[in-house]
C-alpha cells in the first residue's frame, strides 16, 4: 500500500515518487529484492510508455477491437507529440520495476472531478498488485488536489479491468456509446467517491 495514500494533502513535490522493495524468489529460488517505483513521468519515459501501451493494448483489446484500429489509435494517442502534451497538462506517472518501465497511469482533474484516463500494466506482470500500487499513488495525487470523485470509462468487454475497479471500490455507472478508430465501442462509466 502506498503510504502516501493516507489522506494527507501533500504538495506535488512530495508526491513525486514512491519506492518499495519486494522479495522475489524467481525461478531459481534465490531470494532477490526487486524495487518498484511509482514516479512522475519525464520525456525520457516516452518510448517506454509507447512500448508498454502497444503490448498491453493488443493483449487487452484483441477480442474487442481489430488490430488495425488499435494500431491507428496508438499512432496518434501515444505519439511523441501527444505524450509530450500529456506530460505538460496532466499527471502521467510510470511504474518502474527492476529498472524498466512496466506500467503507467494518466490522471487529470476537470471541474473538481478526477479523471483516470489510463492505467496499464504489462500483461506478464499483471495480478501481482502493481495496478493497486499505481492506484494508491493516484488516489494520493487526487486527494492532494481536493478531488471528491474520480471517474473513468472502461470497455464493456474488458472484464478484468472491471473486476479491478470493483475491487478498488468503484461503482459501475451507465453505458456510453463511442467509437475508436472508426469502430464502435461500448464503454461503462465507473465512479469512485474519495474518502467515501
Ligand atoms: C487493470 C490492471 C491495470 C490491473 O492491474 P494489476 O496489477 O493486474 O492488478 P492487481 O494485481 O493490483 O489486482 C487488484 C485486484 O484487481 C482484480 N483483478 C486483477 N486482475 C484480475 C484478473 N485477471 N481477473 C480477475 N480479477 C482481477 C482482483 O480483484 C485483484 O485483487 P486480488 O488479486 O487480491 O484478487 C491490469 O490488469 C491491466 O493493465 N490491464 C490491461 C489494461 C486495462 O484494461 N486497463 C484499464 C483500461 S480502462
- What's the pTM? 0.90
Helix 46-61 vs helix 80-89: crossing angle, to nearest 10: 110
Residue 132 Cα to ligand 1 middle (Å): 8
CA-only gyration radius of the chain, Å: 17
Helices and strands: H and E segment counts in the chain: 5, 8
Residue 82 Cα to ligand 1 middle (Å): 26
- Candidates 3.30.2420.10, 3.40.50.2300, 3.40.630.30, 1.20.1090.10; CATH matching 3-147: 3.40.630.30
Q: How many angstroms separate the Cα of 155 from the Cα of each of 60, 65, 109, 175, 178?
A: 10, 10, 21, 9, 10
Q: How many CB atoms lie within 10 A of CB 41?
A: 21
Grid cell for residue 194: 474519495
Q: Is 161 in the pocket of ligand 1 (CB under 6 A)?
A: yes
Q: Closest Cα to atom 10, ligand 1: which residue?
A: 129
102-139 pLDDT per residue, tens: 999 999 999 899 999 999 999 999 999 999 999 998 99
Contact 119, 38 (CB under 8 A): no
* 39 bridge partner residues: 17, 94
Contact 69, 181 (CB under 8 A): yes
Q: Is 86 in the pocket of ligand 1 (CB under 6 A)?
A: no
Grid look-up 529484492 returns 33
Where are the chain's structural domains? 3-147
| pLDDT band per the 50, 70, 90 thresholds, residue 23 | low
Confidence check: pLDDT of 99 > 70: yes
Amino acid at each position: 500500500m502506498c503510504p502516501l495514500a493516507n489522506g494527507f494533502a501533500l504538495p506535488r513535490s512530495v508526491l513525486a515518487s514512491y519506492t518499495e522493495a519486494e522479495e522475489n524468489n524467481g525461478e531459481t529460488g534465490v531470494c532477490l529484492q526487486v524495487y518498484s517505483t511509482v514516479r512522475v513521468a519525464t520525456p525520457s519515459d516516452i518510448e517506454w510508455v509507447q512500448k508498454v501501451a502497444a503490448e498491453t493494448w493488443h493483449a487487452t483489446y484483441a477480442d474487442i477491437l481489430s488490430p488495425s484500429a488499435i494500431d491507428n489509435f496508438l499512432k496518434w494517442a501515444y505519439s511523441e507529440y501527444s505524450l509530450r502534451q500529456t506530460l505538460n497538462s496532466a499527471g502521467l506517472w510510470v511504474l518502474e520495476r527492476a529498472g524498466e518501465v512496466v506500467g503507467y497511469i494518466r490522471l487529470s482533474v476537470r471541474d473538481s472531478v478526477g479523471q483516470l484516463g489510463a492505467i496499464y500494466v504489462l500483461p506478464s506482470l499483471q495480478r501481482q498488485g502493481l495496478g493497486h500500487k499505481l492506484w494508491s499513488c493516484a488516489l494520493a495525487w487526487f486527494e492532494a488536489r481536493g478531488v471528491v470523485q474520480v471517474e473513468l470509462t472502461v470497455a464493456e468487454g474488458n472484464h478484468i479491468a472491471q473486476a479491478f475497479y470493483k475491487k478498488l471500490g468503484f461503482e459501475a455507472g451507465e453505458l456510453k456509446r463511442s467509437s475508436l478508430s472508426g469502430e464502435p465501442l461500448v464503454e461503462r462509466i465507473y465512479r469512485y467517491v474519495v474518502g467515501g
